[in-house]
Amino acid sequence: MSSGLYGFLFAMWSLIIIGGGIMVVLLGPFTIQQFGDFHWILASGIKVIIALVLVVIWILILSKLKNYIFKKELKF
Amino acid sequence: MIELIFPAIISCIIAFFVVYLTTPPLIKILVKNDYTVKDMNKKENVMVARPGGISIILGIVVSEIVLYGFFQLNEILAIIITTTAAFVIGYVDDRKVMGGWFKPVTLAIAALPIILLGAYDSDLAFPLFGDVQIPLLYLGLIIFMIPITGNTINSIDVLNGVATGFMVIASFTLSICLFILQNYEIAIVSLPLGFVSLAFYKYHKIPSKIFPGDSGALTFGAMYGAIAIIGGVEIIAAIALLPAVINSFLFLSSVKRVVEHRQIKNPTMLTSDFKLKTTDEKTAPITLVRLILAGGPLTEKQVGFAIFKLAIFSGILAIITAFMMGVSL
């Protein structure tokens, strides 16, 4: 059991590092210039949507990982 | 750097001894006024004083006020106000059973002083890849962070000493990371949290003489979240908290809704020799403790140490991450 939990912790950590990289690469350089004073609000809004999608993907991957790592233990 | 050592030592001593000295009389007062709850995992009908949040908040506020005397930082004010608000929210929940919505919503409001006092930087720092500027998203992150850290610590407060022992490991890890990142002032501001947790652990460890209650757990969680935001170490703080995050994640993914712990079936039960074992109840939620017990029955102390070992492991990952912050690909 313990090794499964440590493995899950390590997987979560790896996903955070990778997810962070995707955030920086995708969201970092993202700008919109065409909408005058509102460009930063629009850009921020789109960044929010992308970030939320990434979080949802992160949770889905974690759920799959959880089911895979704790396959035996989750059959309570 | 040298000029920071004296305030650091003074605030740590005050944080530790305020809690260490005020908790025994608090236990007496709570017992005298019948503010006690049954310890569910004991042979006998043991009643334990609750809530210990009063001495915890006292230790935090006094030590942070002393630090404010030295540094006059808005960041310290934000920590004091947010943490005190979280204590009040927890205290209300200790006294009167509130709905599942109460803590997340009110803790989100408790995060507002961090925004109003401008005690944050909207850049989110990631290891290896650098920073990303997300001004609007970051405001949402602040509003969500305090309820998440508050409820995460609260959700792990299930066995004698676990929440405070876990907090000792996580908060000292966070302080070490802040020192590694050379954010010395916030590192010093964060130290009282570790010392307050350490002093309270003396009375909360198995067999508990006092429980922190929601007021204590939310105080710990809110201060931890506030330090993470103010210190710009949100990712590192989340990593140090991973075992508790796993607990919340497992709980939410099995229950599939935000619900008070007291409203759900207990995922563990006692064996005839008073060890903890996982329940046979199919509808009980999956939790960290339940996964630890999947290998077989364990004593409460053994489960606590298993959680502490996980906390140390994630603490090491957090420190590695702090070193990785200085490296860019």
For B54-68, write each residue's pLDDT tens digit.
999 999 999 999 999
Give which of B122, B124, B126, B252 to mutate to test A binding, by max A Cβ within 10 Å. Answer: B126
**B221 and B247 in contact (C-beta within 8 Å)?**
no
Q: Is residue B264's pLDDT more than 70?
A: no
Task: Answer whether A29 touches B (CB < 8 Å).
Answer: no
- Whether A44 maps to a domain, the answer reads yes
Task: Answer whether B1 touches A (CB < 8 Å).
Answer: no
Q: Is residue B6's pLDDT more than 70?
A: yes
3-state secondary structure of B207: coil
Q: Residue A37 belongs to what H/E stretch?
A: none
- Whether A36 maps to a domain, the answer reads yes
- Whether B274 maps to a domain, the answer reads no
Number of domains observed in the structure of chain B: 1
Give the span between the Cα atoms of B134 and B123, in whole angstroms.
Answer: 6
pLDDT level of residue B135 (50, 70, 90 thresholds): confident
- Whether A76 maps to a domain, the answer reads no
pLDDT at position B31:
96
Give the span between the Cα atoms of B308 and A66, in whole angstroms.
Answer: 21
Structural domain for B133, as ranges: 2-256+302-325
Number of domains observed in the structure of chain A: 1
- Tell if the CB–CB gap between A48 and B135 is shorter than 8 Å: no
For A50, which residue in chain B has the nearest alpha carbon? B137
Measured between its terminal Cα atoms, the distance across chain B in Å is 30
pLDDT level of residue B270 (50, 70, 90 thresholds): confident
- Whether A58 maps to a domain, the answer reads yes
- Whether B269 maps to a domain, the answer reads no
Among A5, A24, A51, beta carbon nearest to B126: A24
Mean pLDDT of B97-108: 87
pLDDT tens-digit readout, A18-71: 888 888 887 777 776 666 666 777 777 787 788 788 888 888 888 888 887 777
Q: Is residue B258's pLDDT more than 90?
A: no
Q: Is residue A76's pLDDT more than 70?
A: no
- Tell if the CB–CB gap between A73 and B314 is shorter than 8 Å: no
Cis peptide leading into residue B212 (ω within 30°):
no
Task: Answer whether A13 touches B (CB < 8 Å).
Answer: yes
Structural domain for A25, as ranges: 2-69
Q: Is the model more confident about A20 or about B182?
A: B182
Mean pLDDT of B172-186: 95
pLDDT at position B278:
83
Task: Answer whether B97 touches A (CB < 8 Å).
Answer: no
- Whether A23 maps to a domain, the answer reads yes
Extract the tokens encoding B148: 């998440």
Among the listed ranges A53-62, B7-16, B298-307, which one has the minimum average pLDDT value? A53-62
Measured between its terminal Cα atoms, the distance across chain A in Å is 14
pTM comes to 0.91
pLDDT level of residue A1 (50, 70, 90 thresholds): low
Question: Which positions in chain B touch A13 (Cβ < 8 Å)?
Answer: 239, 242, 314, 317, 321
Give the span between the Cα atoms of B313 and A9, in whole angstroms.
Answer: 8
- Whether B290 maps to a domain, the answer reads no
**B208 and B261 in contact (C-beta within 8 Å)?**
no
What percent of chain B lies above the pLDDT cut of 70? 96
Task: Answer whether B265 touches A (CB < 8 Å).
Answer: no
Q: Is the model more confident about B30 or about B283?
A: B30
Q: Is residue B203's pLDDT more than 80?
A: yes
A 33-72 residues with CB < 8 A to B: 40-41, 44-45, 47-48, 51, 62-63, 66, 70, 72
Alpha helices in chain B (DSSP H): 2-32, 53-71, 74-95, 102-110, 112-116, 135-155, 162-180, 184-204, 213-230, 234-240, 242-255, 288-292, 300-325
- Whether A10 maps to a domain, the answer reads yes
pLDDT at position B187:
96
Q: What's the burial of B296, exposed, middle or buried (CB within 10 Å: 0-12/13-18/19+)?
A: exposed
DSSP secondary-structure letter at B257? S
- Whether A74 maps to a domain, the answer reads no
CA distances from B272 to B44, B178, B298 (A): 13, 47, 12
